[in-house]
């Protein structure tokens, strides 16, 4: 494991920020939640539509807040989220197709999307990727790969800083510059959550993330976790930009089952 200099570090961060798939994509996934002090896993279904615009990556999620029963969706309206990543990230949410999208702000960005999972709008925004101030922390062995670590520092007075985040460590793959892991630190310098890439897979000629796990940490111990596992994927698609505009009343696109690979 070799250290890199400041110039190389800046190059790799810039390369990571610019990474994207060829075309738009759709993932059908499950959230697998393991509560604190419990061996049971509670599963929820969801669909993710992804694209890019002039501001950066943009996604739309449909999340079903009822546990999976016998592999079938419960007949409830999904929670709809539109997530704009980039230098000025934003998140909008609605709880049914008849509702307008509402922008999520302030402390609500750090609250779970719904009861039963750990993921918050902040975890989906990942604003720390674009923070300018960072410290290179050196290489480490992460999930059997070499990762170069950077401690990203929140801007002074930012919403993240006001909500007790002192820094976020990201680890970039030493060969492909992709994200291997994220660790969020509180004001006491102790980790309060950790995100790990578990696996990736080649789909229709492109590599995608197949499984990631987000864990809550307190006093150095995991207090519960929620995994994101892609079950079916389709890439190289083309979506109307209005799908990701909260002011447009456009439904998600219908995609033929024949265009998906089962993972």
In tens, the pLDDT along 144-174 reads 899 999 999 999 999 999 999 999 999 999 9
What span, in angstroms and rounded, lies between the C-alpha atoms of 214 and 195? 4
What is the b/e burial string over 186-213, where b = at least 16 CB atoms within 10 angstroms of the residue's CB? beeeebbbbbbbeebeebbeeebbbbbb
Q: What is the DSSP string of 135-150?
A: EEEEEEEETTEEEEEE
Residues 53/241, Cβ–Cβ less than 8 Å: yes
Answer yes or no: are the C-beta atoms of 17 and 129 closer than 8 Å.
yes
What separation, in Å, do the N-terminal and C-terminal C-alpha atoms of the chain show?
32
d(CA 56, CA 52): 6
CB atoms within 10 A of CB 57: 19
In the predicted structure, residue 73 carries a pLDDT above the cut 60: no
What pTM value is reported for the model? 0.92
Q: Confidence band (pLDDT; 50, 70, 90) for 116?
A: confident
Domains of the chain: 6-262 (2.50.20.10)
Phi and psi dihedrals of 159, rounded to 5? -60, -40
- Residue 163 phi/psi, 5-degree rounding, is -105, 30
Mean pLDDT of 206-210: 95
The per-residue pLDDT for 246 is 96
Instruction: Write the pLDDT tens digit of every residue in 37-70.
Output: 777 899 999 999 999 999 999 999 999 998 887 6
């Amino acid at each position: 494991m070799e250290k890199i200099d400041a110039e190389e570090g800046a190059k790799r961060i810039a390369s990571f920020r610019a990474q994207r798939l060829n075309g738009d994509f759709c993932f059908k996934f499950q959230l697998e939640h393991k509560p604190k002090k419990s061996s049971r896993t509670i599963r929820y279904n969801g669909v993710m539509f992804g694209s890019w615009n002039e501001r950066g990556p943009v996604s739309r999620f449909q999340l079903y807040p009822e546990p999976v029963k016998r592999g079938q969706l419960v007949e409830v309206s999904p929670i709809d989220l539109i997530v704009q990543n980039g230098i000025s990230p934003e998140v909008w949410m609605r709880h049914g197709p008849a509702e307008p999208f509402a922008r999520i702000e302030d402390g609500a960005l750090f609250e779970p999307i719904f009861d039963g999972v750990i993921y918050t709008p902040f975890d989906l925004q990942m604003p720390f990727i674009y923070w300018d101030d960072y410290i290179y922390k050196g290489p480490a062995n992460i999930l059997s790969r070499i990762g170069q670590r950077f401690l990203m520092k929140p801007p002074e007075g930012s919403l993240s800083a006001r909500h007790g985040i002192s820094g976020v460590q990201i680890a970039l793959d030493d060969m492909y510059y992709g994200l291997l892991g994220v660790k969020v630190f509180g004001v006491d310098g102790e980790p309060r959550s950790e995100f790990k890439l578990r696996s990736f897979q080649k789909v229709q000629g492109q590599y995608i993330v197949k499984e990631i796990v987000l864990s809550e940490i307190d006093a150095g111990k995991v207090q519960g976790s929620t995994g994101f596992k892609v079950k079916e994927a389709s890439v190289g698609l083309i979506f109307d930009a209005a799908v990701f505009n909260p002011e447009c009343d456009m439904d998600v696109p219908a995609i033929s089952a024949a265009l998906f690979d089962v993972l």
